[in-house]
Amino acid sequence: MKKHNMDFLNGRRQRRLRHTNWVRHLTRENTLTPADLIYPIFLAQGHGVREPVLTMPGVNRLSVDEAVKEAKVAYELGIPMLAFVPNTPVELLSENGDEATNPDNLVCQALRAIKKAVPQIGLMADVAMDPYTTHGHDGVLRDECVLNDETVEILVAQSLNQALAGADVIAPSDMMDGRVGAIRRALDNGGFTQTIIMSYAAKYASCFYGPFRDAVGSKGRLQGDKRTYQMDAANSEEALREVAQDIEEGADIVIVKPGMPYLDIIQRISDNFSIPLVAYQVSGEYAMICMGAEAGIWEREAAMMESLVAFKRAGCSGILTYFALDAARLLTA
């Protein structure tokens, strides 16, 4: 057999560090743990409700009592925080989203119940009006225009409402200008100086939100689109400006949403700012992985874990994902 001259390698063989499982673990650059995960829960009215979201295989809308059970499971798996989004009953929707400031709305009920049952787990409450408005927009709508400053006033009231109910983290997801600063001032003046603001700083107008809108019931009622306040998918520099402004106004953590189609944005923010950074692996990303697995395109667990590690590799501190329970089970097995 002909002997090959391998002098060009100069003794360097990169594959040595891939040869066995133990060395791959030893030299792994990024590690995923349950502590990296935030688990979003869709809330529904009623008792004992576990209602499947048809476009999100394995995801259910939960009544508050069922959400409490889910919180206990999440805590036992080492997941540090939950996030809540309500499916508000149609009869409680209004033009100006008045239910957002109701101290007994679904989110506030869940915050109080879970804070009592599982006080050790962090609770995050989204701040936006779209789950509560008849038109499906994230703010006050007048003549087909979402009004910025009038919306911010309501978002401030919503934030205080959620903080009073026990939210540890307030997460404005509306993309109105100036809302982080207004919320920070109101929280501090209201005695909630330790309440964290996790701002959706770079939230893009995206088709990947489709299943989410099914889950909260806003898809059929959305009038027009959200491009006048959510970001253009073609823009990158704008994301840096948004993050810089939110940090200046008092954000403690920033979110990029969606996640996988915007890994470049995540890495740019990670490279340019010293602030905890979270990716939201949104409903469409989740559905794509699940339905691809159902179609035999890939193996579900492998695609799930590869996608989550990609967020850590890009620079994320944490990941909001509907895979949180499944991933945590796999990581702790």
Q: Confidence band (pLDDT; 50, 70, 90) for 104?
A: very high
Q: Measured between alpha carbons, how far is 55 from 155 in angstroms, rounded to an integer?
A: 29
Residue 326 burial (C-beta neighbours within 10 Å; 0-12, 13-18, 19+)? middle
Query: Looking at the predicted structure, is the pLDDT value of residue 260 above 70?
Result: yes
pLDDT band at 123, cuts 50/70/90?
very high
Question: Rounded to whole angstroms, how far apart are CA atoms 52 and 54?
Answer: 6
Catalytic (active-site) positions: 203, 257
* pLDDT of 56 over the 70 cut: yes
Q: Which one, of 43, 191, 185, lies nearest residue 112 by Cα?
A: 43
| pLDDT tens per residue, range 127-165 | 999 999 999 999 999 998 999 999 999 999 999 999 999
Q: pLDDT grade, residue 214 (50/70/90)?
A: confident
The whole-number pLDDT of residue 218 equals 60
pLDDT at residue 216 in the model: 73
**SS3 assignment, position 315:** coil
pTM for the whole thing?
0.94
How far separated are the first and last CA of the chain, in Å rounded? Answer: 47
The predicted structure's pLDDT at residue 48? 97
The answer to whether 43 touches 64, Cβ cutoff 8 Å, is yes
For the record, the structure tokens of 93 come out as 């929707």
User: pLDDT class for 2, splitting at 50, 70, 90?
Assistant: low
Q: Which domains does the chain have, with CATH numbers?
A: 32-253 (3.20.20.70)
